[in-house]
Structure 1
Amino acid sequence: MPQIQLAPSDIYYSQSSISHCFTCNGTEHAGKTLVETVNDILLGRCRITDIPRISVVRKGDVWVTADNRRLWVFQVLESLGQCDTVTVKVARKMCCKKNVIKKDISIRGDLGKVLYETKKSLHKEMEDVFLTLASIYLGSN
Protein backbone atom coordinates (compact mmCIF):
# COMPACT_ATOMS: atom_id res chain seq x y z
CA MET A 1 0.00 0.00 0.00
CA PRO A 2 1.31 3.47 -0.82
CA GLN A 3 1.95 5.78 2.13
CA ILE A 4 1.51 9.54 2.41
CA GLN A 5 1.71 12.23 5.11
CA LEU A 6 -1.53 13.90 6.22
CA ALA A 7 -2.48 16.24 9.01
CA PRO A 8 -4.82 14.33 11.36
CA SER A 9 -7.28 17.24 11.11
CA ASP A 10 -7.52 16.64 7.35
CA ILE A 11 -8.84 13.10 7.84
CA TYR A 12 -12.53 12.32 8.32
CA TYR A 13 -14.14 9.66 10.52
CA SER A 14 -16.20 6.82 9.06
CA GLN A 15 -18.45 6.37 12.11
CA SER A 16 -20.65 8.60 14.26
CA SER A 17 -19.22 7.32 17.55
CA ILE A 18 -16.33 5.28 18.94
CA SER A 19 -15.62 3.33 22.09
CA HIS A 20 -13.59 5.06 24.81
CA CYS A 21 -10.97 2.29 24.75
CA PHE A 22 -8.96 0.19 22.36
CA THR A 23 -9.92 -3.45 21.90
CA CYS A 24 -7.62 -6.33 22.78
CA ASN A 25 -5.85 -6.48 19.44
CA GLY A 26 -2.35 -7.52 20.45
CA THR A 27 -0.83 -4.02 20.50
CA GLU A 28 0.61 -2.41 23.62
CA HIS A 29 -2.47 -0.17 23.83
CA ALA A 30 -4.95 -3.06 23.91
CA GLY A 31 -7.56 -2.44 26.58
CA LYS A 32 -6.34 1.10 27.33
CA THR A 33 -8.61 4.09 27.07
CA LEU A 34 -7.99 6.62 24.35
CA VAL A 35 -7.06 9.18 27.01
CA GLU A 36 -4.57 6.78 28.65
CA THR A 37 -2.90 6.44 25.26
CA VAL A 38 -2.72 10.21 24.80
CA ASN A 39 -1.35 10.58 28.35
CA ASP A 40 1.26 7.85 27.74
CA ILE A 41 2.54 9.79 24.73
CA LEU A 42 2.53 13.14 26.56
CA LEU A 43 4.41 11.62 29.50
CA GLY A 44 6.96 9.90 27.26
CA ARG A 45 5.89 6.35 28.15
CA CYS A 46 5.47 5.62 24.45
CA ARG A 47 5.80 7.41 21.12
CA ILE A 48 3.30 8.35 18.46
CA THR A 49 5.07 5.90 16.16
CA ASP A 50 4.17 3.07 18.57
CA ILE A 51 0.55 3.45 17.44
CA PRO A 52 -0.08 1.45 14.26
CA ARG A 53 -0.57 3.54 11.13
CA ILE A 54 -4.08 4.24 9.99
CA SER A 55 -5.40 3.44 6.54
CA VAL A 56 -7.30 6.03 4.53
CA VAL A 57 -9.40 5.95 1.39
CA ARG A 58 -10.30 8.84 -0.87
CA LYS A 59 -14.03 9.59 -0.93
CA GLY A 60 -14.75 12.52 -3.19
CA ASP A 61 -12.55 15.40 -2.03
CA VAL A 62 -11.71 14.00 1.42
CA TRP A 63 -9.63 11.31 3.10
CA VAL A 64 -11.62 8.96 5.35
CA THR A 65 -10.38 6.29 7.77
CA ALA A 66 -11.92 3.21 9.35
CA ASP A 67 -9.34 3.53 12.14
CA ASN A 68 -11.42 6.05 14.04
CA ARG A 69 -10.03 5.61 17.57
CA ARG A 70 -6.45 6.01 16.42
CA LEU A 71 -7.48 9.08 14.39
CA TRP A 72 -9.05 10.59 17.52
CA VAL A 73 -5.75 10.11 19.41
CA PHE A 74 -3.77 11.68 16.55
CA GLN A 75 -6.18 14.64 16.34
CA VAL A 76 -5.89 15.31 20.08
CA LEU A 77 -2.09 15.18 19.82
CA GLU A 78 -2.22 17.54 16.84
CA SER A 79 -4.39 19.99 18.81
CA LEU A 80 -1.76 19.96 21.57
CA GLY A 81 1.06 20.69 19.12
CA GLN A 82 2.53 17.19 19.47
CA CYS A 83 2.28 16.21 15.80
CA ASP A 84 1.71 18.04 12.54
CA THR A 85 1.29 15.03 10.26
CA VAL A 86 1.07 11.26 10.45
CA THR A 87 2.08 8.67 7.89
CA VAL A 88 -1.00 6.88 6.58
CA LYS A 89 -1.51 3.93 4.27
CA VAL A 90 -3.67 4.63 1.21
CA ALA A 91 -6.14 1.78 0.72
CA ARG A 92 -8.43 1.07 -2.21
CA LYS A 93 -11.55 0.39 -0.16
CA MET A 94 -12.97 0.37 3.34
CA CYS A 95 -15.38 -1.89 5.22
CA CYS A 96 -18.85 -1.18 3.80
CA LYS A 97 -20.29 -0.93 7.36
CA LYS A 98 -18.23 2.20 7.94
CA ASN A 99 -19.94 4.47 5.46
CA VAL A 100 -20.29 7.74 7.38
CA ILE A 101 -18.13 10.75 6.53
CA LYS A 102 -17.85 13.00 9.60
CA LYS A 103 -15.43 15.63 10.81
CA ASP A 104 -16.38 15.13 14.48
CA ILE A 105 -17.11 12.02 16.50
CA SER A 106 -18.72 11.26 19.86
CA ILE A 107 -17.14 8.88 22.35
CA ARG A 108 -19.06 6.11 24.10
CA GLY A 109 -18.01 5.40 27.70
CA ASP A 110 -15.91 7.08 30.37
CA LEU A 111 -12.78 8.76 29.04
CA GLY A 112 -11.06 8.62 32.44
CA LYS A 113 -8.36 11.01 33.63
CA VAL A 114 -7.69 13.82 31.22
CA LEU A 115 -4.10 14.94 31.54
CA TYR A 116 -4.22 16.14 27.95
CA GLU A 117 -7.02 18.58 28.87
CA THR A 118 -4.83 19.93 31.68
CA LYS A 119 -1.96 20.36 29.24
CA LYS A 120 -4.27 22.10 26.77
CA SER A 121 -5.46 24.44 29.53
CA LEU A 122 -1.89 25.20 30.65
CA HIS A 123 -0.88 25.86 27.03
CA LYS A 124 -3.72 28.41 26.74
CA GLU A 125 -2.76 30.05 30.04
CA MET A 126 0.89 30.36 28.95
CA GLU A 127 -0.24 31.83 25.64
CA ASP A 128 -2.31 34.43 27.55
CA VAL A 129 0.69 35.27 29.78
CA PHE A 130 2.94 35.66 26.75
CA LEU A 131 0.45 37.95 24.99
CA THR A 132 0.03 40.07 28.13
CA LEU A 133 3.81 40.41 28.56
CA ALA A 134 4.22 41.28 24.89
CA SER A 135 1.55 43.98 25.09
CA ILE A 136 3.16 45.45 28.24
CA TYR A 137 6.58 45.45 26.59
CA LEU A 138 5.30 46.96 23.33
CA GLY A 139 3.21 49.51 25.23
CA SER A 140 6.21 50.74 27.21
CA ASN A 141 8.26 51.56 24.09
Structure 2
Amino acid sequence: MSLMLRPSDIYYSQSSISNHFSSPFVQIGETLDDLCEGRLSVYDIDSITVTKYNGRWITWDNRRLWVFRQLERLDKCRKIPVVQTTSVPYFRLTSKCDGHDIKVRGEPGGRWYNRSSFAVVKTILTGLGIGALLLAAVIKFLDM
Protein backbone atom coordinates (compact mmCIF):
# COMPACT_ATOMS: atom_id res chain seq x y z
CA MET A 1 0.00 0.00 0.00
CA SER A 2 1.36 3.44 -0.94
CA LEU A 3 1.16 6.42 1.44
CA MET A 4 2.46 9.99 1.58
CA LEU A 5 4.24 10.89 4.84
CA ARG A 6 6.37 13.74 6.13
CA PRO A 7 9.98 12.55 6.44
CA SER A 8 10.06 13.91 10.00
CA ASP A 9 7.19 11.53 10.89
CA ILE A 10 9.35 8.53 9.99
CA TYR A 11 11.97 7.20 12.39
CA TYR A 12 15.33 5.59 11.69
CA SER A 13 15.82 1.95 12.61
CA GLN A 14 19.61 2.08 12.81
CA SER A 15 22.12 4.09 14.81
CA SER A 16 24.37 4.89 11.84
CA ILE A 17 24.50 4.87 8.05
CA SER A 18 27.18 4.91 5.40
CA ASN A 19 27.82 8.24 3.71
CA HIS A 20 27.13 6.79 0.26
CA PHE A 21 24.70 4.61 -1.62
CA SER A 22 25.96 1.28 -2.92
CA SER A 23 24.49 1.13 -6.37
CA PRO A 24 25.35 3.43 -7.94
CA PHE A 25 28.15 4.60 -5.64
CA VAL A 26 27.02 8.17 -4.88
CA GLN A 27 27.47 10.14 -1.67
CA ILE A 28 24.15 10.83 0.06
CA GLY A 29 24.90 14.57 0.10
CA GLU A 30 25.35 14.53 -3.68
CA THR A 31 21.91 12.95 -4.01
CA LEU A 32 20.58 15.74 -1.80
CA ASP A 33 22.22 18.27 -4.15
CA ASP A 34 20.60 16.61 -7.18
CA LEU A 35 17.19 16.87 -5.51
CA CYS A 36 17.68 20.47 -4.35
CA GLU A 37 18.89 21.59 -7.77
CA GLY A 38 16.15 19.83 -9.74
CA ARG A 39 18.23 17.14 -11.44
CA LEU A 40 16.15 14.54 -9.56
CA SER A 41 12.70 14.52 -8.00
CA VAL A 42 11.60 12.48 -4.98
CA TYR A 43 9.77 10.24 -7.46
CA ASP A 44 13.08 9.35 -9.18
CA ILE A 45 14.26 7.70 -5.97
CA ASP A 46 12.85 4.37 -4.83
CA SER A 47 10.13 4.84 -2.22
CA ILE A 48 11.20 3.97 1.27
CA THR A 49 9.51 1.10 3.04
CA VAL A 50 7.90 1.82 6.39
CA THR A 51 6.12 -0.16 9.04
CA LYS A 52 4.30 0.72 12.25
CA TYR A 53 6.52 -0.20 15.18
CA ASN A 54 5.50 0.72 18.73
CA GLY A 55 2.96 3.15 17.28
CA ARG A 56 5.42 5.02 15.04
CA TRP A 57 6.46 4.79 11.39
CA ILE A 58 9.94 3.26 11.11
CA THR A 59 12.08 2.42 8.09
CA TRP A 60 15.15 0.38 7.32
CA ASP A 61 15.83 2.58 4.26
CA ASN A 62 17.81 4.90 6.50
CA ARG A 63 20.07 6.58 3.92
CA ARG A 64 17.12 7.57 1.77
CA LEU A 65 15.26 8.79 4.86
CA TRP A 66 18.32 10.90 5.78
CA VAL A 67 18.21 12.53 2.32
CA PHE A 68 14.44 13.13 2.55
CA ARG A 69 14.71 14.57 6.08
CA GLN A 70 17.40 16.97 4.83
CA LEU A 71 15.07 18.00 1.98
CA GLU A 72 12.29 18.67 4.46
CA ARG A 73 14.68 20.63 6.73
CA LEU A 74 15.61 22.78 3.75
CA ASP A 75 11.90 23.28 2.98
CA LYS A 76 12.29 21.49 -0.36
CA CYS A 77 9.62 18.85 0.27
CA ARG A 78 6.74 18.28 2.64
CA LYS A 79 5.75 14.66 2.01
CA ILE A 80 7.25 11.66 0.26
CA PRO A 81 5.74 8.48 -1.14
CA VAL A 82 6.34 5.44 1.06
CA VAL A 83 5.38 1.79 0.84
CA GLN A 84 3.90 0.16 3.93
CA THR A 85 5.09 -3.29 4.95
CA THR A 86 4.46 -5.48 7.97
CA SER A 87 7.86 -5.61 9.70
CA VAL A 88 11.41 -4.35 10.00
CA PRO A 89 14.16 -6.99 10.11
CA TYR A 90 15.19 -7.36 13.75
CA PHE A 91 18.92 -7.00 12.96
CA ARG A 92 18.18 -3.50 11.60
CA LEU A 93 16.82 -2.23 14.93
CA THR A 94 20.04 -0.71 16.27
CA SER A 95 18.96 2.88 17.01
CA LYS A 96 19.98 4.09 20.45
CA CYS A 97 17.84 7.26 20.38
CA ASP A 98 14.44 5.80 19.43
CA GLY A 99 15.11 6.60 15.78
CA HIS A 100 15.07 10.38 16.18
CA ASP A 101 18.53 10.87 14.69
CA ILE A 102 21.23 8.92 12.90
CA LYS A 103 25.02 9.19 12.64
CA VAL A 104 26.51 9.42 9.16
CA ARG A 105 29.78 7.49 8.95
CA GLY A 106 32.05 9.86 7.03
CA GLU A 107 31.33 13.15 5.28
CA PRO A 108 27.99 13.09 3.41
CA GLY A 109 29.39 15.19 0.56
CA GLY A 110 27.49 17.71 -1.50
CA ARG A 111 26.89 21.41 -0.92
CA TRP A 112 23.31 21.62 0.38
CA TYR A 113 23.88 19.48 3.47
CA ASN A 114 25.53 22.32 5.38
CA ARG A 115 22.83 24.81 4.46
CA SER A 116 19.85 25.39 6.66
CA SER A 117 16.53 27.05 6.01
CA PHE A 118 17.50 29.53 8.75
CA ALA A 119 20.76 30.35 6.94
CA VAL A 120 18.84 31.08 3.74
CA VAL A 121 16.42 33.38 5.59
CA LYS A 122 19.33 35.04 7.41
CA THR A 123 21.06 35.70 4.07
CA ILE A 124 17.90 37.28 2.66
CA LEU A 125 17.36 39.41 5.77
CA THR A 126 21.00 40.46 5.79
CA GLY A 127 20.67 41.45 2.15
CA LEU A 128 17.53 43.43 2.96
CA GLY A 129 19.27 45.06 5.91
CA ILE A 130 22.21 46.14 3.78
CA GLY A 131 19.78 47.39 1.13
CA ALA A 132 17.90 49.41 3.74
CA LEU A 133 21.15 50.92 5.04
CA LEU A 134 22.21 51.86 1.52
CA LEU A 135 18.80 53.38 0.80
CA ALA A 136 18.97 55.40 4.03
CA ALA A 137 22.47 56.63 3.11
CA VAL A 138 21.29 57.69 -0.36
CA ILE A 139 18.28 59.51 1.08
CA LYS A 140 20.49 61.25 3.61
CA PHE A 141 22.98 62.20 0.87
CA LEU A 142 20.17 63.59 -1.32
CA ASP A 143 18.83 65.68 1.58
CA MET A 144 22.20 67.45 1.98
TM-score range (shorter-chain normalised) is 0.7 to 0.9
Deviation of 1:49 (Å): 1.1
Query: In the alignment, does 2:68 pair up with 1:83?
Result: no
Query: In the alignment, does 2:112 pair up with 1:123?
Result: no
Deviation of 1:125 (Å): 1.4
- 2:109 is aligned to 112
- 2:17 is aligned to 18
SS for the counterpart of 1:12 is strand
The range that moved more, 75-84 or 94-103, is 94-103
CA distance in 2, matches of 1:131, 1:16: 41
SS for the counterpart of 1:72 is helix
SS for the counterpart of 2:91 is coil
Q: Is contact 1:12–1:103 with CA below 8 Å preserved after alignment?
A: yes
TM-score by length of 1: 0.80
Match of 1:45 among 39, 49, 59: 39
Deviation of 1:126 (Å): 4.1
Deviation of 1:12 (Å): 0.4
Deviation of 1:4 (Å): 1.3
Q: Is contact 1:42–1:116 with CA below 8 Å preserved after alignment?
A: no
Paired amino acid for 1:111: P
Structure 1 segments unaligned to the other structure (5+ residues): 25-29, 134-141
Shift in CA distance, 87/73, structure 1 to aligned 2, threshold 3 Å: same
Q: Identify, as 1 or 2, the structure richer in helix.
A: 2
Paired amino acid for 1:15: Q
State how many pairs are aligned: 127
- 2:48 is aligned to 54
CA distance in 1, matches of 2:127, 2:2: 39
Superposed CA RMSD: 2.2
SS for the counterpart of 1:97 is helix
Q: In percent, how many aligned pairs have the same letter?
A: 35
Paired amino acid for 1:59: Y
Q: Is contact 2:74–2:115 with CA below 8 Å preserved after alignment?
A: no
